[in-house]
A = this chain, B = another copy of it.
Amino acid sequence: MITGKNQIAGTFSAEGQQTFRTTDPAADKENPQEFFEATPAETDRAVNLASEAFRIYKKTSGTDRAAFLEAIAARLEASEEDIISCYIRESALPEGRARGEFARTTGQLRAFAVMLREGSWVEAIISNPEGKPDIRRVQCPVGPVAVFGASNFPLAFSTAGGDTASALAAGCPVVVKAHPMHAATGELVALAIADAARETGMPEGVFSHLNGKSLETGQRLVKHPKVKAVGFTGSISGGTALYRLACNREEPIPVYAEMGSVNPVVVLPSALEDKKDFWAAQYAGSITAGTGQFCTNPGLLLGIAGRELDSFTEALGKAIGQKAASCMLHPDIKAQYLKKRDEVLSQPGYSVVTAPEREADGNFALPHVIAADAEVFMKNGVYHQEVFGPFSVVVKCRDKAQLTEVLQHLEGQLTGTVLAEKEQELQEYAPAIDALKERVGRLILNGVPTGVEVCAAMMHGGPFPASTDSKFTSVGLTAVQRWVRPVAYQDWPDALLPDALRNSNPLNIFRNLNGVITKNAV
């Protein structure tokens, strides 16, 4: 059933000699299927066909693109059982998570379809006051987009994930560099996309799917002159390397990389009065969910030193200590987890909150939590690093001012969370919360950072190194903004304007008409 081949514009291709296999991490063995690494010629072909397809695809209507996205969702559902079993075999993530991520993937494809049918996302602006030139501006797709699959979300951030869905919604053909850890899942998903493209009459070059375990395929994509933007979810080192590669091209292009984050959680005293055990249980769950392999995993908890924080930390340690070992995504990820964790554990000055009695077997891992004083934390950058896995640091601050100071010196983050039961307390800690806000893309009150809603208001991105461009989100409807650029038409005849800009407003969308947001005709 799985061929191991690349899919270039709807056609299987396996021209190379290099192959690799995926792993069954739960069984700790390789899966039998071989995958063919894309050759440079295959990579170029995919991009060239994407570039040709762009001339047609960019002109498709929102309704047509919506039908395409919905067809992808339907095709995925027709293969759901195959995809789910493949996903579990390649990731060792539990079935509930697999089903949840599957539903999220089809759900976000359909959410973009709804956005396309509504149509106002193109941000039409019309300025034509008396006696001035008539200028009308609309967002237009940028061209072929390269998308990198993410190790930790084989569906929602990979082949048909948020980057692909938003780029296709924008009118951009997509070339996916599949994540090598779940290449078979990728192949099944890619087949669904190719079938949907055929079914809805899209140009075949609108989508290609390349296998690549080495770095070359991805680098070649990012450097290809016809690739106009890149979507990436993964490590800080990987994302930053691609970002710099793209900046140093003859024609620089944007790389929207969503990377690492320790997602600080500020535990204010009032949260520890009556709800200490509740939050300890919540955070034991959030820290260990998906074996800590979420980009929003809470790796840093900060509070005011004292008996209450100690008692919360103890309860957290106890709740986490009861968690069973769970499997990581891949032997390399487990190895990297242990390496990064042990780098932190080799630093001076912390105390152990909870630690596994012995290392879990195979690719399984057990959570680990330590605590340190703010002075120790601030002086030592190693404590700030993301440890991708079920590892967290509790930082004890002397007082409000020190808490603010620690937050001011944090690196950029996807999320920042505050636990507080009293609104009054949020005001008392306003400088700390303001400092937190400056470092994050999303500010959460009384929740856990894991769990990222797909909606118009979502911001999943943040100051570097959380992402390479803090202006854009990789989750939610405004993710589409990454793949468009505005074009202004000056004194253009109505009949030849894009529909979004025509006098009669045939798409019936919200437009900015001389400063007023309206659906009215001009």
Interchain CB contact under 8 A, A491 and B445: yes
CB of B459 within 8 A of CB of A423, answer no
CB contacts (< 8 Å) of A142 on chain B: these are: 470
CB distance from A517 to the nearest CB of B (A): 4
A376 located at the interface, meaning its Cβ lies under 8 Å from any Cβ of chain B in the complex: no
Check A488 against B457 for contact (C-beta < 8 Å). Answer: yes
Whether A486 and B468, one on each chain, are in contact in the complex, defined by CB atoms closer than 8 angstroms, is no
The listed residue (B132, B481, B495, B515) touching A423 by CB distance below 8 A is B495
How far, in angstroms, from A136 to B443 measured CA to CA in the complex?
A: 10
CB atoms of A492 and B445 under 8 A apart: yes
- Given the interface contacts A136-B457, A464-B251, does A471 sit within 8 Å of B496 by beta carbon? no
Given the complex of chains A and B, what is the CA–CA distance between A473 and B123 in angstroms? 14
Indicate which residue in B137, B244, B444, B464 contacts A490 across the interface (CB closer than 8 Å): B444
Contact of A517 among B120, B126, B129, B445 (CB under 8 A): B120
- Knowing A458-B135, A517-B517, say if A443 contacts B489 (CB, 8 Å): yes
Contact B457 A125 (CB under 8 A): yes
A127 located at the interface, meaning its Cβ lies under 8 Å from any Cβ of chain B in the complex: yes
Q: Are A443 and B492 in contact (CB under 8 A)?
A: yes
Could you say which of B252, B456, B473, B486 contacts A127, with CB atoms under 8 Å apart?
B456
Tell me if A443 and B512 are in contact (CB < 8 A).
no
Decide if A485 is an interface residue (CB 8 Å cutoff). yes
- In the complex, what's the smallest C-beta–C-beta distance from A350 to chain B, in angstroms? 25
User: How far, in angstroms, from A33 to B135 measured CA to CA in the complex?
Assistant: 43
Closest Cβ–Cβ distance, residue A508 to chain B (whole Å): 12
Q: Which residues of B contact A469 (CB under 8 A)?
A: 254
- SS class, residues of chain A in contact with chain B: mixed
* CB 8 Å contact bits of A443-456 with B (1 = contact, 0 = none): 11111000001011
> Are A491 and B457 in contact, CB atoms less than 8 angstroms apart?
no
A158 to B: closest C-beta gap in Å: 23
Give the oligomeric copy count: 2
- List the B side residues contacting A126 at CB < 8 Å: 457
Give complex CA distance A16, B442 in Å. Answer: 44
B515 touches A510 (CB 8 A): no
- A346: interface (CB < 8 Å): no
A133 at the binding interface (Cβ < 8 Å): yes
Partner of A464, one of B143, B252, B458: B252
Q: Does A412 contact B (CB under 8 A)?
A: yes
Q: Does A440 contact B (CB under 8 A)?
A: yes
A95 interface residue per 8 A CB criterion? no
A: which residues have CB within 8 A of B? 55, 114, 118, 120, 125-127, 129, 132-133, 135-137, 140, 142-143, 240, 243-244, 247-248, 251-252, 254, 412, 423, 426-427, 434, 437-438, 440-447, 453, 455-459, 463-465, 468-471, 473, 478, 481, 484-493, 495-496, 510, 512, 514-515, 517
Query: Apart from A442-B487, A444-B490, A470-B485, what 13 extra A-B contacts exist at CB < 8 Å?
Result: A125-B456, A127-B455, A135-B453, A135-B458, A142-B470, A143-B438, A251-B465, A441-B488, A443-B489, A444-B491, A457-B488, A458-B488, A459-B488
The contact sample of 16 A-B pairs, CB cut-off 8 A, is A126-B457, A127-B456, A127-B457, A135-B442, A137-B459, A143-B438, A243-B247, A243-B252, A251-B463, A423-B495, A426-B493, A442-B487, A443-B487, A445-B492, A463-B485, A471-B481
